[in-house]
Copies of this chain bind each other. A is one copy, B any other.
Amino acid sequence: MAPPPAANNGGAGGFSRVAIVGVGLIGGSLGMALRGRRLAQTIVGIGRDAARLETARGLGAVDEIATDPAAGVDGADLVVLATPIRQIIADLATLSPLLSPGALVTDVGSTKAEIARAGDAALPRGTFVAGHPMAGSERSGVEAANPELFIEAVWALTPTAATNPDALDRVKALAQGVGARVLVLDPHEHDRAVAVTSHLPHVLAYALSALAADTARNSPHLYDLAAGSFASATRVAASPPDLWQDVALTNRAALAEVLRAYRADLDTVLAALDAGNADVLRDRFQAGFDAKRG
């Protein structure tokens, strides 16, 4: 019998069989990165659509594929949940009884508090390490995956009081192994921060994109007059609406809070426009400029 391939998966921290549930942009990129760097012996891709899994295997994202979750996670010492958030939460419960003893579970969802709570509730104590690689884009699908997606990206890990420190270290080593900069922080702090830096920008882009389409009905040249600022401001409106519905629903309170604060600033600008108050307009624009430059 041939010896197993020499892989950088031994000793403390390495994994030998990694199951990735959902082989899209993030899951596929992670599979490619782990395979390219030999950070695991075997990567198995789990999903519902055999044809899409075959595409993922053809692109080098996974070694094996499984449409049966029980078969897919059997023997895995790490399971990575890389589906939309509601599916992650559902899978935490359904996969839990199927896991091999000692298996760790992590995820890549864009919100963390609800997922961390669900993982702690569903899985053996200490074995869940909630995570969020900040490496998405408006593109989706394994066709957009690339093994360098995580290089220099921040990968947030949000342990709870229940998380086993060794489990955290092993998932941290995995993220660092694919080139990411790991940031460990509280899941609620994570969710409040990304409400501003990621979730609100998506809400704003969708709303501007929709407003432009509405306005264009009575303004035939509107899109001819769209230059760089419109393109930047609406870029992420090309992101999948179902994914962002999940994000918004699982970070409702934090997103509503920042949206209220944002709306209050717009109200200030609107009042200044109505009154022709040059000083207030200048003040608000200057505040944004200073923050951008600062």
Contact = CB atoms under 8 A, between A and B. Distances in A.
Nearest to A198: B229
A156 B226 CA distance: 11
Interface stretch (A33-41, A164-172, A262-270): A262-270
Interface residues of A, number: 90
Given A135-B227, A207-B265, A282 B198 contact: no
Contacts of A204: 204, 208, 233
A288 B225 contact: no
Interface in A212-236: 212-215, 219, 221-230, 232-236
Nearest to A110: B227
Interface stretch (A5-13, A58-66, A272-280): A272-280
B262 A208 contact: yes
Contacts of A146: none
A93 interface: no
Interface string A81-98: 000000000000000000
A248 to B, nearest CB: 5
B210 A287 contact: yes
B225 A289 contact: no
A281 interface: yes
B286 A241 contact: yes
A111 B247 CA distance: 38
User: In this complex, which of A201, A226, A249, A286 has the most chain B Cβ atoms within 10 angstroms of its Cβ?
Assistant: A201
A196 to B, nearest CB: 5
A8 B209 CA distance: 42
Given A137-B228, A219-B189, A230-B198, A209 B255 contact: no
A291 B198 contact: no
Nearest to A263: B266
A125 to B, nearest CB: 27
Q: Which 10 A-B pairs give the minimum distances between C-beta atoms? A: A206-B288, A213-B291, A241-B285, A209-B288, A201-B233, A210-B287, A197-B226, A237-B292, A201-B229, A134-B227
16 contacts: A154-B225, A154-B227, A189-B219, A192-B219, A193-B219, A196-B208, A197-B223, A201-B233, A211-B265, A213-B287, A229-B236, A238-B293, A248-B285, A259-B266, A259-B270, A266-B266
